Amino acid sequence: MHDFDDSFLTETAHRPWPLPERVWIMTQTWHDLLFAHWPVDKELLQAKLPPGLELDLFDGQAWLGVVPFRMSNVGPRGLPALPWVSAFPELNVRAYVTRGGKPGVYFFSLDAANPLAVQTARALFHLPYFRARMSVEPHGDGIAYDSRRINASPPADLVCRYRPIGAAIAPVPGTLEHFLTERYCLYTVPRDLRPRRLEIHHRPWPLQHAEIEIERNTMAEAAGIRLPSIAPLLHFSRRQDVVAYAMV
């Protein structure tokens, strides 16, 4: 069933720049999303970025995010959601970059359980999607998340349990939470080495603090990035409805 909530489309005061003049082309709804962030070495991370993208820092510090969630309502504008193609788990490894005065996200990897979504995103959006065996199940008042990339060497797995704590609030501009979450575009660099930008729109993130138990996490290592041996900074969001625009 398509339950996409489009009432946010006229809410724009929180955006860092105006909406694109062109029409949006795709819907997505993100559920039970966890932002897990670690501080990482900025020189190492900049060296991992493709040409044309500059690392975005908060008080001189670079951050890497591992973001598990599940999606529904995935599809082109005007078409109904189809249960077997429009809903599936996803897992992202992301850094924060800027280009042309527009801060955004760069993905080192995006794992998904839907092979059609993987093929389509790789072909149309030049994004580094990978197929994975994934499950997302309720666990007490939280989520049990299991993702294992198919035929991956080195392994790219995340097995964990996480849960929200406290009330949901919107991140305050100028804070680290706002810097890490309030991003309204992503960047990718295809084989022609010309960076492309894909813009999105949604409400401000409703964030809760969170707890996590990690059984296995090799997602960053699979991208050649070593995480520090410290607890991650955690934020949880129950739901976010999103529209995406054509890549430019």
Instruction: Give the CA diameter of the chain.
Output: 47
Distance CA 61, CA 24 (A): 33
Bridge partners (DSSP) of residue 67 are: 92
3-state DSSP call for residue 111? Answer: strand
Q: How far is CA 161 from CA 68, 158, 172, 178, in A?
A: 11, 10, 27, 24
Whole-model pTM? 0.96
Domains of the chain, CATH where assigned: 37-192+207-244 (2.40.400)
Amino acid type, 174: G
Digit-by-digit pLDDT tens for the chain (248 residues) are 479 999 999 999 999 999 999 999 999 999 999 999 999 999 999 999 999 999 999 999 999 999 999 999 999 998 877 766 899 999 999 999 999 999 999 999 999 999 988 998 898 889 999 999 999 999 999 999 999 999 999 999 999 999 999 999 999 999 999 999 999 999 999 989 899 999 999 999 999 999 999 999 999 999 999 999 999 999 999 999 999 999 99
CA separation for the pair 54, 98 (Å, rounded): 5
